[in-house]
Amino acid sequence: MVAAQPIPVAIYGIGPIGAEITKLILTKPWLELVSAVDIDTAKIGRDIGDLIGSHKVGVAVTPEITNKPTVICHSTGSRLRDVEGQLKALLGARSHVVSTCEELSFPLDHQIRERLEQTARAANVALLGTGVNPGFVMDKLPLTLTAVCQQIESVTIVRIQNASTRREPLQRKVGAGMTVDEFRAAVDAGKIKHMGLRESLMLVGSGLGIEFNSVSDEKIEPIVAKREVVTQYLKVAPGQVAGVHQTIDGKGRINVSLELQMYVGAEDVAADRVIVKGVPDLELVIKGGVHGDRATAAMVVNAIPRVIAAHPGVLTMDDIPVSFR
């Protein structure tokens, strides 16, 4: 049920995802935006509604949190080491934090995890890393599906996203329009990599109650266009790169493999798929797949009441139930 008083929330970081989260917050009567933070001096002082192309809200962007929100939606970076300081400061001021930081979805750096855990517990608040991927389609959804299994041999998770429907930076980020050589150089330079695939794998393993005997390296390969692909932002010739094919797997009592394909021109094959070999066998398909940016904003906002209700500390998506709110 909807709370009688709206929950005071803040947005921390107003990039493309932060703006999408903010727009969604403004549609929810059970939330009240009380603070909007960004370090960009071009944004500071502006009304957050104007900034994101919505109606005027009466909340100006500030460089620090104001009005002590109950929950802060954090969206500034993908790497734990880049956001640890921000998260500790926000938690230390006794706000819950829901973050899109991919590495936070299942913190693999145990020292950072422990420091965040101590800060959150001392302040009696919770911290969650979530999104659509990592956060849902390749971890939370497969884990939830496995609840009807008596025994499991393997879990195969395949996400094929049509990058043609995504924003330009994402199309560039998957390498669309590059030559294969350019793509490989960009991979070697760390410029082409979907963040969070390893975290999703480890979250699935943890949720299933297993420890993998071995975990593969992440393989990042080009998907080469067989035909010309034209999007709103770019053109890919046959033989050029259409996008990225990234995989990782863990072997153990249960084998888990994750395969992510993000490329332009994937209209006909885009889908999210989970295949469980076990008792019973299961095959789940989401036709067309869950769209990335919109779903990430939704997941962050929908997680808010669940994070408030959870125990203090560093949470993963395996610690909370979720639904639309």
CB of 259 to a second copy, least distance (A): 19
- The structure tokens 């695939």 sit at 197
Contact between 227 and a second copy by CB under 8 A: the answer reads: no
CB of 192 to a second copy, least distance (A): 25
Looking at 11-19, 45-53, 224-232, 288-296, which segment touches a second copy (CB under 8 A)?
Answer: 288-296
Closest CA to 177 of 109, 94, 240, 222: 240
Among 215, 224, 286, 308, binds a second copy (CB under 8 A): 286
Among 56, 110, 227, 287, binds a second copy (CB under 8 A): 287
Q: CA torsion 71→169→273→306, rounded to 10°?
A: 0
Contact between 258 and a second copy by CB under 8 A: the answer reads: no
DSSP one-letter string for 251-319: ESSSEEEEEEEEETT-TTT-EEEEEEEEES-EEEEEET---HHHHHHHHHHHHHHHHHHSPSEEE-GGG
Q: Which is nearer to a second copy, 27 or 41 (CB)?
A: 27
Among 145, 180, 215, 224, binds a second copy (CB under 8 A): 145
CB of 160 to a second copy, least distance (A): 15
The three-class DSSP label of residue 80 is: helix
CB of 312 to a second copy, least distance (A): 14
Neighbours of 275 (CB within 10 A): 17
- CA–CA separation, 255 and 277 (whole Å): 10
Q: How many residues bind a second copy (CB under 8 A)?
A: 54
Dihedral sign of CA atoms 6, 7, 13, 17 in order: negative
- CA–CA separation, 89 and 74 (whole Å): 12
Contact between 41 and a second copy by CB under 8 A: the answer reads: no
Which residues make up the interface to a second copy (CB under 8 A)? 1-2, 24, 27, 30, 132, 136-137, 140-141, 143-152, 206-209, 211, 278-280, 282-288, 290-291, 294-295, 297-299, 301-303, 317-325
